[in-house]
């Protein structure tokens, strides 16, 4: 499919360019040009020309930490459920994501991993009811790979995770998880202070896994040792980690002090106080921040009881709370709302988009994603000034259009 989106403002994570157009042919962006050039340009007769009427054109959003969406997710995981999750996310502007797995008994983790791998394979070879090959985009947002949020994390910083599922570093277990994933584990949350973490880090880095410090009670020196071992990214910064103290900067202080550390952030205004974003933006700069949702399975679910991690939850004050004790159970954020929130918290539009596109693609080593430039994947969104999503294109296919 050949498509030209014109009369828009391009947000490519680097700058904001008004009166521009983006042309893509199939799954690749082939040209980005001014509206003046659009008026002079000759298009093939089969090109679909779409006037976006001044709306913003941006790369598709990439969520590297998400557990579920609209009733489907990695808890009670199934291949069909993950594919449904991918299709639903596309309607909210997400064009690539990492299904994220909590720690669980080994057999349960292995089963979940295999279901996600099967979904990824099926997505890459989608077929319609007649058995004819159809565009990969029909299956929704690209399943990029798996994020393991454990099991090698601190029992002292569990959040709502089950204590019996947390394990000491076990290289044999890591190899079994990797084998089940068929090489699709992309990123992994670990606690740097655990014994033998340096050996695990070497094992994972050799496999190309991005290591993230999270669910950690690390002292400052543990974090520095982790950085030296290659743990250079952070899981939901500020949350479930040792806080800063003047005698021990802890995990939070280490991330703020060391420029090489990058961080995820849940920008819902609930998990992290809005005013803390002023410090975060000033210290880390938007170049080193990844917007994530950490969304739970019932996020945007319209009907029925809400369940996450095997227990009933209630939607309250913008996030999920456990029904039994009212403790915050997790996020209900969407990526497009997160971008809007980042702007409200102090970023400009280009910076906020960068945190949801350029940065995750760079840190996760996703080539040809995250920018609107020739040669990159035609994963694109269009939204108005109020962040109402109008178009989602995945691999050049218009999977959402209003």
Tell me the pLDDT tens digit for each residue of 101-149.
Answer: 999 999 999 999 999 999 999 998 764 444 444 555 567 999 999 999 9
Structure tokens at 22: 């983006």
**Residue 130: per-residue pLDDT:** 44
Omega of the bond leading into 151 within 30 degrees of 0 (cis): yes
Which pLDDT score, from 0 to 100, does residue 311 have? 87
For residue 383, report the phi and psi dihedrals to the nearest 5 degrees.
-145, 155
Exposure string over 19-41, b if 16+ CB within 10 A, otherwise e:
ebbbbbbebebeebbeeeebeee
Q: What phi, psi does 91 have (nearest 5°)?
A: -70, -10
Q: What is the residue extent of each domain of the chain?
A: 2-56+388-401, 60-368
pTM of the model: 0.96
| Neighbour tally for 95: CB within 10 Å | 31
- Cα–Cα distance, 263 to 176 (Å, whole number): 28
Contact by Cβ (8 Å): 311, 271? no
Residue 154: per-residue pLDDT: 98
Q: What is the pLDDT of residues 198-253, one digit of tens each?
A: 999 999 999 999 999 999 999 999 999 999 999 999 999 999 999 999 999 999 99
CATH superfamily membership of 2-56+388-401: Urease, subunit C, domain 1 (2.30.40.10)
- pLDDT at residue 139, as a whole number: 72
**Distance, CA of 136 to CA of 139 (rounded, Å):** 6
Q: Which residues contact 324 (CB under 8 A, 6 or more apart)?
A: 311, 312
Residue 290 · residue 64 · CB < 8 Å: yes
Q: How far apart are CA 223 and CA 217, in angstroms?
A: 10
Q: How far apart are CA 188 and CA 146, in angstroms?
A: 8
Regions in the chain scoring below 50 on pLDDT: 127-133
Nearest alpha carbon to residue 309 among 327, 291, 292: 327
**60-368, superfamily in CATH?**
Metal-dependent hydrolases (3.20.20.140)
Tokens 């702007």 belong to: 343
């Amino acid at each position: 499919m050949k498509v030209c989106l014109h009369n828009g403002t391009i947000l490519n994570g680097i700058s904001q360019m008004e009166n521009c157009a983006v042309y893509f042919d199939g799954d690749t962006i082939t040209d980005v040009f001014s509206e003046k050039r659009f008026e002079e340009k000759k298009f093939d007769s089969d090109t679909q020309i779409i006037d976006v009427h001044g709306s913003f054109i941006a790369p598709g959003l990439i969520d590297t930490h998400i557990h579920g969406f609209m009733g489907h997710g990695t808890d009670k995981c199934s291949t069909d459920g993950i594919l449904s999750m991918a299709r639903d996310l596309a309607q909210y502007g997400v064009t690539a994501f990492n299904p994220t797995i909590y720690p669980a008994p080994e057999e349960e983790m292995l089963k979940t991993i295999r279901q996600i791998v099967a979904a990824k394979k099926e997505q890459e070879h989608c077929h319609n009811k007649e058995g004819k090959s159809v565009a990969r985009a029909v299956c929704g947002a690209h399943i990029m790979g798996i994020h393991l949020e454990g099991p090698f994390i601190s029992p002292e910083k569990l959040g709502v995770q089950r204590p019996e599922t947390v394990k000491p570093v076990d290289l044999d277990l890591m190899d079994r998880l990797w084998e089940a994933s068929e090489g699709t584990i992309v990123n992994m949350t670990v606690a740097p202070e655990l014994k033998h973490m340096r050996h695990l880090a070497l094992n994972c880095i050799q496999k190309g896994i991005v290591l993230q410090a999270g669910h950690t009670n690390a002292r400052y020196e543990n974090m520095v040792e982790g950085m030296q071992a290659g743990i250079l990214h952070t899981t939901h910064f500020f949350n479930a980690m040792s806080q800063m103290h003047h005698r021990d900067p802890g995990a939070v202080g280490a991330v703020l002090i060391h420029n090489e550390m990058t961080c995820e952030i849940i920008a819902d205004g609930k998990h992290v106080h809005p005013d803390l974003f002023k410090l975060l933006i000033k210290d880390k700069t938007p170049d080193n921040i990844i917007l994530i949702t950490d969304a739970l399975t019932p996020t945007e679910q319209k009907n029925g009881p809400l369940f996450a991690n095997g227990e009933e939850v209630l939607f309250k004050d913008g996030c999920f709370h456990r029904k039994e004790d009212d403790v915050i159970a997790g996020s209900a954020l969407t990526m497009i709302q997160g971008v809007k929130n980042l702007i409200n918290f102090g970023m400009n539009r280009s910076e906020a988009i960068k945190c949801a596109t350029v940065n995750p693609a760079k840190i996760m080593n996703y080539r040809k994603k995250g920018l609107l430039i020739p040669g990159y994947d035609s994963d694109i969104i269009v939204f108005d000034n109020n962040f109402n999503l109008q178009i989602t294109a995945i691999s050049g296919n218009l999977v959402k259009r209003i």
